[in-house]
Amino acid sequence: AQSVAQPEDQVNVAEGNPLTVKCTYSVSGNPYLFWYVQYPNRGLQFLLKYITGDNLVKGSYGFEAEFNKSQTSFHLKKPSALVSDSALYFCAVRDFPSNDYKLSFGAGTTVTVRA
Amino acid sequence: GAVVSQHPSWVICKSGTSVKIECRSLDFQATTMFWYRQFPKQSLMLMATSNEGSKATYEQGVEKDKFLINHASLTLSTLTVTSAHPEDSSFYICSAIPSGATGELFFGEGSRLTVL
């Protein structure tokens, strides 16, 4: 079984400050981990993924995430947040190996960056 | 690359009518596509897995006779909401993964359905 938890419904930060969005996961095998961002009335945009290799993954728009196996976490970070980063963020996981490509999504975290 | 197009973006229909939503992978072939439903400020709920050339696999609790899925080619899957009712109003999103890939899904822009 695979699942993801995003413990924070909302994260509020001031522009220019560091942004962190938390995610923890549970899988039977090895995790494939993903972060997506959603703007109002839009689909999901892919930010970054961890499949294997370096624990620190760099993605789009200056975002990065760190895979921590011992803490089963994959927190999303950005050193200096922008107002345009305000959106809904989803963490997702897929168990590997698995027979399908289904992702399990977290509940989502709404990020608000104030000017 | 890896663009998924969804059409229509917005649709309003009368109760009792059927609505078809298309999902196309524009620059890759997709053996598998997924259909999700999203309620306001909530996460995505997987409705079904669409498999090219075979029947869709529906998640528990999803009515297969209400939500008809057809995956006629490697680049097109359609979701038809039959005899729509106001409770079917929602945001529907499709996603696809390139055939043979092991990584991320690519999502369409979503379709907002409003049933009057």
The mean per-residue pLDDT over the stretch A30-51 comes to: 92
Q: What pairing do the DSSP bridges indicate for beta strands B111-115 and B90-97?
A: antiparallel
pLDDT in tens, A51-65: 989 999 999 999 999
Given an 8 Å threshold on Cβ–Cβ distance, is B43 in contact with A105?
yes
**How many residues are present in chain B?**
116
Given an 8 Å threshold on Cβ–Cβ distance, is B43 in contact with A46?
no
d(CA A45, nearest CA chain B) in Å: 7
For residue B11, what are the β-bridge partners?
A: B113
Residue at token pair 């729509």: B84
Coil vs helix vs strand at A60: helix
The reported pLDDT for the residue numbered B105 is 87
Element (H, E) at B72: strand B67-73
- Angle subtended at Cα B99 by Cα B96 and Cα B102, rounded to the nearest 5 degrees: 80
Q: How far apart are CA B99 and CA B103, in angstroms?
A: 11
CB B50 within 8 A of CB B58: no
Residues from B in contact with A at Cβ < 8 Å? 4, 6, 32, 34, 41-44, 46, 49, 91, 93, 95, 97, 102-110, 112
* Closest in B44, B103, B112 to A105, CB measured: B44
Residue at token pair 């947040």: A81
Tokens of B116: 């009057």
Instruction: Place B1 in a pLDDT band, splitting at 50, 70 and 90.
Output: low
> Which residues on B lie below 8 Å from A36 (Cβ)?
107
Burial class of residue A54, CB neighbours in 10 A (0-12, 13-18, 19+):
exposed
Cβ-proximal residues to A9 (8 Å cutoff; 6+ apart), any chain: A107, A108, A109, A110
Instruction: Place B104 in a pLDDT band, splitting at 50, 70 and 90.
Output: confident
pLDDT in tens, A80-104: 999 999 999 999 999 887 767 888 9
* Closest in A41, A96, A108 to B110, CB measured: A41
Cβ-proximal residues to A96 (8 Å cutoff; 6+ apart), any chain: A27, A29, A30, A31, A32, B102
Instruction: Place B52 in a pLDDT band, splitting at 50, 70 and 90.
Output: confident
